[in-house]
Amino acid sequence: MTDESGSVRTRVWRSGTLEAENFPFEQLSDYLGQDDCLVWADICDPHEQHLRDLAEELNLHPAAVEDAVEHGERAKATRYATHTFITAYSTTMVDGTDASTGNSVLRVNRVSAFILQRGMVTVRHGDGFDMDQVVQRWDDNADLLKYGVGALVHGLLDVIVDSHFATVQLLDDSIEALEDHLFDDTSPSREIQRQTYRVRRDLVELRRRQDAGSANERTMV
Region 40-54: mean pLDDT is 85
What whole-number distance in Å separates Cα of residue 101 and Cα of residue 81?
Answer: 49
Give me the sign of the Cα torsion angle 212, 96, 124, 39.
negative
- Of 11-15, 61-65, 167-171, 188-192, least confident by mean pLDDT is 188-192
Give me the sign of the Cα torsion angle 166, 171, 177, 180.
negative
Q: Which residues contact 215 (CB under 8 A, 6 or more apart)?
A: none
Give me the sign of the Cα torsion angle 157, 161, 162, 167.
positive
- Residue 70: CA atoms inside 13 Å, Cβ hemisphere, count? 11
Confidence bin at 46 (pLDDT 50/70/90) = confident
Confidence bin at 2 (pLDDT 50/70/90) = very low
Give yes or no for residue 4 having a pLDDT over 50: no
What whole-number distance in Å separates Cα of residue 130 and Cα of residue 220?
Answer: 31
Domains of the chain, start order: 2-219 (3.30.460.20)
Region 193-197: mean pLDDT is 66
Tell me the angle at which helices 189-212 and 149-182 cross, rounded to the nearest 10 degrees. Answer: 160
Could you tell me the pTM of the whole model? 0.79
- Of 158-162, 186-190, 212-216, least confident by mean pLDDT is 212-216
What whole-number distance in Å separates Cα of residue 28 and Cα of residue 156?
Answer: 19
Return the closest-CA partner of residue 164 out of 197, 127, 205: 205
C-beta of residue 63 within 8 angstroms of C-beta of residue 220: yes
What pLDDT, on the 0 to 100 scale, is given for residue 103?
A: 55
Region 137-145: mean pLDDT is 95
- Residue 214: CA atoms inside 13 Å, Cβ hemisphere, count? 7
**pLDDT tens digits along 75-114:** 889 999 999 999 999 988 776 444 444 455 778 899 999 9
